[in-house]
Structure 1
Amino acid sequence: MQLRALRYFHEVARCASLRKAAERLYVTPTAVSRQIEHLEHFFGATLIERGARGIRLTADGQCLAEQVAITLRGMEQVREVISSRQSQIAGNISIFVSESIVSTMLAPVLAALSRAHPKVTFNIVIASASATVDALCSGEADLGLAFYLPERADVEVTAQCELWHRVLVSAEHPFASRDSIELAELQGQPLAIPDAAYGVRQALELAAKKRGVSFTPVFTTSSLETQKSLARLGSAVLILPQIDAEARDLSDGLIAVPIADDDLGRVRIDLCVYRNRPQSSASLKCQEMLAAAMRSYGLAR
């Protein structure tokens, strides 16, 4: 059994299409089909089923697909480690991150890293804290950068900092001229927040429970752009972390107003890796630069 066959099968499992997998691999559908047949012969089992609507994995095929994804990711990590031992900063870094800190914290670091080391590539996935931890443990993610990551013995926090939660509203909203907002004043406001898998939702509900306040979000969405668009139109109020504690006019049609609440006023960001997994030179360099950025923002811990 060759590594090529596993790569081809991995693409077929991802695309659910021999034709699309062939396009991604720059080979013919016949070449992909032949490699699938080799695997089916090797395992003595049918791995895919063809139908009028395309193909689907059998139960055996799904089992193999899950293991192949882990195997290929492990091979990529080994390749990157070997490259790092040859003093080359190269390879791919997979980062799972909370969307609201991409533009302010993550993007500047990745831009600087890419300029300095053009052979490094990046896979950036927007995810909740729980999904980030799962990705670290499964090997999908090299680095996790998120709010309030759940504690796991096999996940190591390498850097932390605190930012400031702010209420974001349109310039015409009555809150826009306020120096601060009490948590109770958000009751009855048309909140736009993500679902319970996200740290900001969990932090809000915990703080509200302690204060005896209840909230019923009008808009539940994990899309940051959707939240902001609704707020600009005056239809929603949202809560987001801000790097600059003093900034009010965000120059994007939104005004940031401080929250007068000890529990919700600050939010912790964790930079994490999977404990004891070898890290490539590229991943280590990215960690170093992110940690430095976190020290310069907010309240480093």
Structure 2
Amino acid sequence: MHNTEIRYFMAVATTGSISAASQQLFVAISAISRHIQRLETRLGVTLFERSPRGMQLNDAGHILANHVRRSMADMELAVAELQGIKAVAQTTIRVVCTDGLAFNLLPNLMAKFRLLHPRVSFILTVGTGRQVPELVRNGECDLAIRFILSPESGVEVLASFPSPVLIFMKDDHPLAERDIQLADLNAWPVVLPDQSATIRQLFDLSCRMNNVFIDPVFTCNHFSTLYEFVCQTPGAISVSSHYSVMTRARQDGLIIKTINRDQLSQRSLQLQSEMGKPRSAMLDAFFVFLREELQQRDQQCRKEFDLQFR
């Protein structure tokens, strides 16, 4: 296969149409179409589902695209190793995460890591709970940090931490000094993420199992927006992992509390990578740094807010 064919193929796969790939590459539509057809003829399979709305990869196309991405990542790693320590020190680390972790925790940790390794750069992509594992399996990141409810195939779990559903509110809230049951939340304005978030799914399931109906006053798919709404709304309560709020809670006058329900303890926070993907020395150093920081901050947060969970 020729490099031009692969380059045009990946451009169409990324943009979703030949016309968009043409604009991206500054190459005529006819030339891109001709090279795609030549590639499909050479391989003996079609690579795209063609429709008036564009071109989407079929199963064969996904296989080829994933292979190309892994080959490119392996080549970047090989070049870095050949160039030695200087190249490693200039490594770009690609991280994907779900929304709550991007609010404050990950920017904080990345900035701290760069104080130790100032020539390392990061690319952080925030995705949904469904998008993140696909990015891992497709080799489009070096590391994923996300909440999960059950084991997944095709990813390597590098570390795992308990991450139950907790609630947060202003520290002068009437519920702040007592044990809380789900039914107690009905008397207050509840703020929730949308149904695509694993924490919302687990919270709704627990409510159904305990015959509790909660109608949120505000729903949003961005955690920073939920957080600000709680800070500005008297009596408001929202759900979160302690990892999402631990670095900001005290300075914003918030408190973190547990809810006495076992069903809310089924989530974990995981560090994940693509199965079998080679790692550079700098990426391994970042893994170790994250694991130690998360363990330390977890213990500090439990002690500070008297959080009792396994």
TM-score interval (norm. to shorter) = 0.7 to 0.9
Identity of aligned residues (%): 19
- Specify the alignment match of 1:126 in structure 2: 127
1:56 matched to 2:57: no
Separation of aligned partners in 2, 1:7 and 1:123:
24
Provide the rounded CA distance (Å) in 1 between the counterparts of 2:282 and 2:31.
36
Instruction: Give unmatched runs, 5+ long, in structure 1.
Output: none
State the partner residue of 1:278.
278
* Partner Cα distance (1:229, 1:245) in 2: 15
Query: 8 Å contact 2:69–2:138 — kept in the other structure?
Result: no
Give 1:190 shift: 3.9
Q: Extract unaligned runs of 5+ from structure 2.
A: 301-309
How far has the Cα of 1:100 moved from its partner?
1.6
Length-normalised TM-score, structure 1: 0.74
Q: Where do residues 26-45 of structure 1 align in structure 2 (5 Å cutoff)? A: 28-30=26-28, 33-44=30-41
Q: 1:151 to 1:24 in 2, by over 3 A?
A: same
| Residue 75 (str. 1) matches residue 71 (str. 2) | yes
Distance 1:178 1:266 in 2: 25
* Map of 1:288 onto structure 2: 288
CA-CA distance at 1:233 after TM superposition: 4.2
User: How far off its partner does 1:168 sit?
Assistant: 3.3
Q: Could you report, residue by residue, the CA deviation over 1:155-179 in whole angstroms, capped at 9, with x for unpaired residues?
A: 332223346754334688655x645
Q: Provide Cα deviations, 1:90-110, integer angstroms capped at 9, x if missing partner.
A: 555432312222244322333
Structure 1 residues 92 and 64: CA distance shift in structure 2, 3 A: farther
Residue 226 (structure 1) aligned with residue 198 (structure 2): no
Tell me, in whole angstroms, the C-alpha distance in 1 between the residues paired with 2:266 and 2:153.
25
Deviation at 1:21?
A: 3.7
Aligned equivalents of 1:183, 1:205: Cα separation in 2: 11
Equivalent position of 2:167 in the other structure: 167
Mapped partners of 2:266, 2:58: distance in 1: 43
Determine the structure 2 residue equivalent to 1:213.
Answer: 212
SS in 2 for 1:96: strand
Q: How does 1:5-44 map to 2 (within 5 A)?
A: 5-16=5-16, 20-21=20-21, 24-25=24-25, 28-30=26-28, 33-44=30-41
Contact 1:182–1:259 at 8 Å: present in 2 too? no
For residues 108-166 of structure 1, give each alpha carbon's deviation from its aligned partner in whole angstroms, at most 9, with x where no partner exists.
Answer: 333344562636442423321x5433332333343221123521354332223346754
Name the Cα RMSD after superposition: 3.9
**1:141 and 1:13 mapped to 2: Cα distance?**
17
Distance 1:114 1:194, change over 3 A: same
Q: Is the 8 A contact 1:156 1:275 kept in 2?
A: yes
State the TM-score, normalized to the length of structure 2: 0.72
Equivalent residue, structure 1, for 2:147: 147
Higher deviation after alignment, 270-279 or 260-269 = 260-269
Equivalent in the alignment of 1:261: 260
